[in-house]
Chains A and B, each alone.
Chain A
Amino acid sequence: MTMTPDSGSPDGLLHGAEINPVSVLAEHRQALRQRLLEGASGGEVMAALTMFVDELIIGRYKNAMRRAGEEAQIEGAQYCCLVAVGGYGHRELAPQSDIDIMFLYSEGSGEVAQALFREVLRHLWDLGFQVGYSMRTLQDCIEMAATDLTIRTSLMSARLLTGSPYLFQEFYRRYFREVVGRGTTHFIEQKVEERRREYEKFGATIYLLEPNVKKSKGGLRDFHLFRWAGMARFQAATLQDLADHGLISGQDFLSLTEARDFLWRVRAFLHFEAGRAQEILSFDEQVRLASLYGFQDRPDLLGVEQFMQQYYQHTMGLHETLVRFLDRCLAPPVKRKSTRQLPADKVDGYFVVTGRNLTVPSELRPRVLSSPDLLLRLFEMAGSRRLKIDNELLDEIHSHMDSVSDEAFRTPEVSRVFMKILAGPGEVAGTLEVMHRAHLLEKVIPVFARVRGLMQFNHVHKYTVDQHTLLAVAKAEALAQEPGIIGEVCKEIRRKDLLHLALLLHDMGKGRKEDHSEVGKVIAEETAARLGCDEQETRTLVFLVHQHLLMSQTAFQRDPYDKKVLLRFVRAVATPETLRKLLVLTAADISAVGPGVLSKWKESLLIELFLRALPEVSGEQDETASPDRLKQLAGEVAGECTDAAAGGLDWIESQLGQFPLRYLQGTPPKRIAAHLRAVGRLQAGEVLIEENFNEELGICEYTVITHDNLTPGIFSKIAGVMTAKGLQILDAQIITRNDGVVVDTFKVSDPDYAGVPPVERRDSVAATIVLVLKGEEDVERLMSRNTRLPSGRRLPTARQAAEVQIDNETCDRSTIIDVFADDTLGLLYAITRSILQLDLSVHAARISLRDELDQVADVIYVTDQHGAKIKDHARLEAIRATIKKDIDQFIDQQVARSEAVSAGSLT
């Protein structure tokens, strides 16, 4: 059915007989919608609508001209024409697209034809079309197109609707010669810049969760830009032309066409549904389209997520192809041969650097493509030297990757170079992104293939999982440049590679029905094994991935001033280095959720927790309390001193002033009062023990008060007594005041007794400590005499070698020794004895249990006998090796002993 009114009918008659054009249009749209639902492509629908509109316009125009008389008809046919431009010119009218139309006339034409054109416009408006129109002479077109980018672009798709074909041909010829053929590079650059601004406005990433199908990155506009550039640079009007002339590969042609058709169809649905030019693919529409397209929910992935994954694959492909094509359009006309003529620039035997570009000469490409090691080195070089890998080469890598198995990438060299890429310096996130684009990242970390374009169907995240992940790495890099505490912490992190790897893996567990942190933990373990990480690295990586939400949950949802909350957090984190990594990981993760999500407000909550936890993990609360605080505390302690034995308030205050803050903050006033009473009556050469049972935690606290010159290795000896008595040490605090008073507190559990151990037991422990410290009993003899049946924790069957690390950066005054080992009775004694034999003195220690790993992390602060930090590298290494050897030996002994016990042959 056409809408063209019958020719020559008088208006009066026509109105009655004419079918209402508005409803005809509505019916036509409805029919097109039905075709779309039945499987027609977006292109078919657009072509049909274009044809419909063409007929409408041409019919109206001719009809109006006929009615206006012969003169007008001649004028119209000779001096004027109607030209479709913009998307309409391309016959790409989406259901609710604007119609862009130009009235082209030559000087000889009169007013009549123009008036007729206006009549056509009115008709289109009445039908509810959005019409953009212009009336220009040929000269106008040339002049305006030369200066106005939009006009220049829209005329590229000019198509004659009706009128003088000679005039149109003349226009076309001059336009291409005088406009399109000139300043091509500048034109393309301008278009690219225009598009770049559009990206900024409509989302700088392809992976928006509610993308604009036209204007977001990877949207239809990318396809338009592709076509404009191709037309300007190569005078190719269609993709087919570009493919025919070998300007794009057959594969690119196919993927571009597929992506374009996919987007066209989606847009057609959006327009039909909204009844207007709706280009935003909202969550609601995604759900609707996913079911229209037949995607079913699976346990691991919702239908809508599968649909969007396809959407992102298309937009990603489209965008990548565009980027490569633009590069070619803008590249200076240099033959690749010339790069080969500069042998001086060849690096590493395979790679060629020209300016900031990195490539591989074509004769060497097969070698490089078939060698995972070389491929990794290529990316490593690009990252560390901040070079850009040639797009053609990336293309080749990309297509080659599809036929390569992950297993080929499981080599020590690949792992080594990959960790180097992750460590920086240089572009870490940038390099990873290029690797991801070339489908190479998923060869090194196979799990990455699964999250490509994986959407997170919630309103918090703005990006898909892979994009969020890569962005998180970029954010971690950027944070190091920012002023403030997080920036400082960033700079101090020693193993950036582990941090970046943890960021890469932290959300890999998404898209499965199990908790993503738990899945992530398994993935982290697998990846660590694959990359050949050692135990220590594995431990850090697994912890960071598994607990990547711990810090934000604690900071935002728990009270960091609640000692129990803090302690639980601190015990999990265990070391200052892990805490630093976790802070940066948390900040980067939040920041990569979307723009502005990491507010200063959130930052300050994270920093608050960090600063409260740091002294705890490092056992380093050595600053003193402020005078106000001291006064207040002295009052509280005095309130606990019911007897008059203690000196007055002033005495209490001066005593408190000699303790570090970590003691004052971590000890209840009642306990402080008890300790001060002991300090007050301490005589030279004496040892006093204050013990206390904490009902709430079910643990005993033994505080030993003495003078530090009593005997060397006080701490180690106490630990030995605890072991001999079968006590499990949970925490130990070492305080040596400037006046030589030692106040060491051990928190222990007593596996021999459920509930409160009897007084005799506690007295016996206390008495033994006194005997040992006074030299009346030898700790070694005590230990062998008291060899016990294994109690409490059993020894792990599959035991892991102990790991000892030296950290000389965290603390200015002491060297920190981190020990990770299987939780064994007496371990702390073994460690401290080893330290004592090395002539080191212990200043602080913290013991953290890692329940799930059946391991402990002991953090011990030591100095040499003169109280100085150890700086000599050889000595540090010797210390590390000795302690490790001693611990391994100790644990072996314990194992042997316990086996002997089980065999019933204890001697």
Chain B
Amino acid sequence: MKMIEAIIKPFKLDEVKDALVEIGVQGLTVTEVKGFGRQKGNREIYRGSEYTTEFVPKVKIQLFVTDPLVPRVIEAITRSAKTGSVGDGKIFVWDLNTAVRIRTGETGESAL
């Protein structure tokens, strides 16, 4: 079992979601986040005054999948989130120890 987290451009969310649903992903957690990577934050200048927005608005998606699905998830996110310009985001993959479905108490892959 793996946890996959990806930071993507906000307007790509729908495309990424559709791509993931298509390959059989069952659930997804979405968070509106701000941060910076190599893209750095913008310095916004308006009327000569500077408004620092050190952080760029992004969307973070988080999902939990079985091992065999991982390469396809990565492929789907990469394909659907890509614009080719700076700030397209990143994907992270973690090992997942355990998962429990609260309603039934099922554990492991059947809880995913």
Which residues of A line the B interface, CB within 8 A? 484-485, 488-489, 556-559, 561-562, 599-602, 604-605, 607-608, 611
Residues in B neighbouring A485, C-beta threshold 8 A: 44, 46, 51
Query: B95 within 8 Å of A by Cβ?
Result: no
B85 to A, closest residue via Cβ: A561
Measured between beta carbons, the chain B residues less than 8 angstroms from A600 are 34
Contact A599/B32 with A485-B51, A605-B10 known, Cβ cut-off 8 Å: yes
Q: Is the interface of A mostly helix, strand, loop or mixed?
A: helix
**Contact call B9/A559, Cβ cutoff below 8 A:** yes
Q: Are B46 and A559 in contact (CB under 8 A)?
A: no
Query: Once the chains are docked, how many angstroms separate the CA of A557 from the CA of B10?
Result: 7
For the complex, give the distance between the alpha carbons of A601 and B9 in Å: 12
- One digit per residue, 1 when the CB lies within 8 angstroms of any chain A CB and 0 when it does not, for chain B 14-28 equals 100000000000000
- Enumerate B36-50 residues with CB–CB distance to A below 8 Å: 42, 44, 46-47, 49
Give the number of residue pairs across the A-B interface with Cβ within 8 Å: 39
Q: Which residues of B are at the interface with A, using a C-beta cutoff of 8 A?
A: 9-11, 14, 32-34, 42, 44, 46-47, 49, 51, 53, 56-57, 83, 85
Inter-chain contact A488/B42, CB cutoff 8 Å = no
Which of B11, B46, B51, B56 is in CB contact (< 8 Å) with A557?
B11
9 additional A-B pairs beyond A601-B34, A607-B53, beta carbons within 8 Å, are A484-B51, A485-B51, A488-B46, A558-B11, A559-B11, A562-B83, A601-B33, A605-B10, A607-B44
Residues from chain A with Cβ under 8 Å of B11 in the complex? 556-559
Between A and B, 27 residue pairs with Cβ closer than 8 Å are A485-B44, A485-B46, A485-B51, A488-B46, A488-B47, A488-B49, A556-B10, A558-B11, A559-B9, A559-B11, A561-B83, A561-B85, A562-B83, A599-B32, A601-B32, A601-B34, A601-B57, A602-B57, A604-B34, A604-B53, A604-B57, A605-B10, A605-B57, A607-B44, A608-B57, A611-B44, A611-B46
Contacts of A562 in B (CB 8 A): 83
Q: Closest approach, in angstroms, between the C-beta of A733 and any C-beta of chain B?
A: 22
Q: What CA separation (Å) do A607 and B43 show in the bound complex?
A: 12
Query: Bound complex: CA of A556 vs CA of B13, how far in Å?
Result: 10
A484 to B57 Cα, complex, angstroms: 16
Task: Tell me, rounded to whole Å, the shortest Cβ–Cβ distance linking A600 to chain B.
Answer: 8
CA distance A444 to B34 in the complex (A): 45
Question: How far does the Cβ of B80 sit from chain A's closest Cβ, in whole Å?
Answer: 13
Residue from the set B46, B49, B51 with the largest chain A CB neighbour count within 10 Å: B46
Assembled-state Cα–Cα distance A600/B11 (Å): 16
Main secondary structure on chain B at its contact with chain A? strand
Residue of B nearest to A603 (CB): B57
What separation, in Å, do the CA atoms of A605 and B34 have in the docked complex?
Answer: 11
Residue contact A608 to B46, C-beta cutoff 8 Å: no
Task: Tell me whether B83 and A559 are in contact (CB under 8 A).
Answer: yes
Complex CA distance for A316 and B46, rounded to whole angstroms: 43
Q: Which 6 A-B pairs have the closest CB atoms?
A: A601-B32, A604-B57, A601-B57, A485-B46, A557-B11, A605-B57
User: Smallest CB–CB gap between B42 and chain A, Å?
Assistant: 7
Q: Which of chain A's residues have a CB closer than 8 A to the CB of B47?
A: 488
Task: Name the B residues within 8 Å of A608 (CB-CB).
Answer: 42, 57
Q: B9: nearest residue on chain A (CB-CB)?
A: A559
Query: Which of B14, B47, B83, B85 has the most chain A CB atoms inside 10 A of its CB?
Result: B47
Residues of A within 8 A of B32 (CB): 599, 601-602
Q: In the complex, A485 Cα to B45 Cα: how many Å? A: 9
Chain A neighbourhood of B33, CB < 8 A: 601
Which B residues are CB-close (under 8 A) to A607? Answer: 44, 53
Bound complex: CA of A562 vs CA of B46, how far in Å?
21
Determine the chain B residues whose CB is within 8 A of the CB of A602 once the complex forms. Answer: 32, 57
Closest beta carbon of chain B to A558's beta carbon, Å: 6
CA distance A599 to B83 in the complex (A): 25
| Distance of A556 Cα from B47 Cα, bound (Å) | 24
Q: Which residues of B contact A601 (CB under 8 A)?
A: 32-34, 57
Closest Cβ–Cβ distance, residue A528 to chain B (whole Å): 31
- Distance, CA A556 to CA B11, complexed state (A): 5
**A-side contacts of B83, CB under 8 Å:** 559, 561-562
Contact of B14 among A489, A557, A599, A611 (CB under 8 A): A557
Report A-chain residues with C-beta under 8 Å of the C-beta of B34: 600-601, 604
- Docked pose: A611 CA to B14 CA in angstroms: 24
Indicate the member of A558, A599, A601 with the most B CB atoms within 10 Å: A601
Q: In the complex, what residues of A have CB within 8 A of residue B49's CB?
A: 488
Write the nearest CB–CB distance from A672 to chain B, whole angstroms: 19
Q: Which residues of A contact B42 (CB under 8 A)?
A: 608
A contact residues around B44 at 8 Å (CB): 485, 607, 611
- Cα(A599)–Cα(B10), bound, Å: 14
Q: Which residues of chain B have C-beta atoms less than 8 A from A558's C-beta?
A: 11
Residues from chain A with a CB closer than 8 A to the CB of B46 are: 485, 488-489, 611
Determine the residue in chain B with the shortest Cβ distance to A484.
B51
CA distance A638 to B9 in the complex (A): 31
Q: B39 to chain A: closest CB distance in Å?
A: 11
Q: Which residues of B contact A488 (CB under 8 A)?
A: 46-47, 49
In whole angstroms, what is the CA distance A506 to B10 when docked?
26
A608–B11 CA distance with the chains assembled, in angstroms:
13
CA distance A488 to B49 in the complex (A): 10
Find chain B residues with CB under 8 A from A489 CB.
46
CB-CB under 8 A from A557, the residues of chain B are: 11, 14
Q: In whole angstroms, how far apart are the Cα atoms of A562 and B49 in the complex?
A: 26
For the complex, what is the distance from the CA of A599 to the CA of B59, rounded to whole Å?
A: 13
Complex-state Cα separation, A556 to B14, whole angstroms: 11
- Which residue from chain A places its CB closest to the CB of B55 in the assembled complex? A604
Q: Tell me, rounded to whole Å, the shortest Cβ–Cβ distance linking B35 to chain A.
A: 11
Chain A residue with the shortest CB-CB distance to B33: A601
CA distance A599 to B57 in the complex (A): 11
Beta-carbon nearest neighbor of B53 in chain A? A604
* In the bound complex, CA of A558 to CA of B9 (Å): 10
Bound Cα distance A580, B10 (Å): 23
What distance in Å separates the Cβ of B81 from its nearest Cβ neighbour in chain A?
Answer: 11
What is the CA–CA distance of A485 and B47 in the complex, to the nearest angstrom? 9
Contacts of A561 in B (CB 8 A): 83, 85
For the complex, what is the distance from the CA of A599 to the CA of B31, rounded to whole Å? 12
Least Cβ distance of B40 to chain A in Å? 12
